[in-house]
Amino acid sequence: SEAVADALSLCLACKSCKHDCPLHVDMATYKSEFNAHHYAGRIRPRAAWAMGQIRRWAELAQAAPGLANFVLRAPGLGGLAKRVGGLAPARTVPAFARRSFRAWWRHRPRTAIDGPPVVLFPDTFNDFFRPQTAIAAVELLEGLGYAVDVPAASLCCGRPLYEWGWLDQAKSLWRRNLGVLKPIVETGVPIVGLEPACVSAFRDELPNLFPKDELAKRLKDQTLFLTEFLDRQGRAPTLAEPVEAMVQIHCHQHAVLDAEAERRVLTAAGIAANVLPSGCCGMAGAFGFEAEKYDVSMACAERVLLPTLREAPAQTLVLANGFSCREQIEQGCGRTTLHVAEVLARAVHGGP
């Protein structure tokens, strides 16, 4: 039904209905399943190929990230690239990092740490776009005495695929994940993620796609967001001086993960956290990048989030863990955002 497709196109897939609705109606999952059927035999929109397949483009861009950024962001060329990709002209295409996190990990000097093991899962966005976040997470965890490891193979939870119903591709990625992560799961080592949307895929989409797979269930239970892990371990470094922060909780962190763990860790670290009552930032993954949804996306952000941040003092930190939240804030009001890993890494090293 084109009418149902048109109605669901404005679903942000934020999963708040799953959490906040008394009946826990999971429209985001319904949307993914509907789109899998709807686009069987139909051509997906250009934005689906531009943003839904972002993992593929990010891996290709690593061969020449400078050239990729020039094509996507240069005057004229950038505008043409956005039109071809069905992206909003007003949006700035996120820049690919000149060196991915995994490249940094492969070449960093190693220090043996005789501490509890933990595996860091480098998602697409903190690997290829904001590697400084994953680097900070390594520094934080090692500073707390954990022996950090990273999967040898490049893995993906498939989050960008669900929006457009590429469930077969997502399931194929999960089969690979299960094969690579099986030894880790069997030893019981915790797996820590940094992107709330990615970790929610471990906890939500994975058991939905493999409801009878015991390995999938164990992987779901062993995967934690960074602040969930620190909260369970009772480990939170303390900043040298108390600071104030405005905090944008990612929708999936609110709906699927333990957002209260974030608050507890921030409080223990000496951060006076003002959690914004703004709901979804409006970017919602690829949603806010699409040309026809740009106005709706910005209307969501202008309801509470952006006006509040514009009025906040310049010295107040702006914390946002989700890649899409960070892009919406930085593009919408020019405030620099920090991931909780970046702030806590400074705390563990005693920096400002």
pLDDT of res. 352 = 65
Give me the residue label for tokens 């471990």. 202
- Average pLDDT of span 209-225: 97
CA atoms within 13 A on the CB side of 72: 20
pLDDT of res. 235 = 87
Res. 40 pLDDT band, cuts 50 70 90? very high
Q: What is the pLDDT of residues 332-341, one digit of tens each?
A: 999 999 999 9
- Average pLDDT of span 39-49: 93
Shortest CA distance to 121 belongs to which of 226, 50, 46, 42? 226
Q: Which token pair is 162?
A: 């669900």
pLDDT of res. 184 = 97
Res. 349 pLDDT band, cuts 50 70 90? confident
Res. 136 pLDDT band, cuts 50 70 90? very high
Res. 138 pLDDT band, cuts 50 70 90? very high
Measured CA to CA, the distance from residue 226 to residue 231 in angstroms comes to: 9
- Average pLDDT of span 280-301: 96
Beta strand ranges found along 43-154 (DSSP E): 117-121, 147-149
- List beta partners, residue 272: 244
Measured CA to CA, the distance from residue 74 to residue 187 in angstroms comes to: 48
Is 245 in contact with 274 (CB distance < 8 Å)?
yes
pLDDT exceeds 70 at position 351:
no
- Average pLDDT of span 140-163: 95
How much is the mean pLDDT over the chain? 95
pLDDT exceeds 90 at position 149:
yes
Shortest CA distance to 205 belongs to which of 250, 183, 177, 174? 174
Shortest CA distance to 96 belongs to which of 135, 137, 55, 134? 55
Measured CA to CA, the distance from residue 72 to residue 227 in angstroms comes to: 34
Res. 112 pLDDT band, cuts 50 70 90? confident
- Average pLDDT of span 124-152: 96
Measured CA to CA, the distance from residue 127 to residue 156 in angstroms comes to: 10
- Contacts of 340 by beta carbon, 8 Å cutoff, 6+ apart: 226, 227, 262, 265, 266, 319, 321
pLDDT exceeds 70 at position 178:
yes
With a pLDDT cut of 90, the percent of the chain lying above it is 93
pLDDT exceeds 90 at position 111:
no
In terms of residues, how long is the chain? 352
Res. 219 pLDDT band, cuts 50 70 90? very high
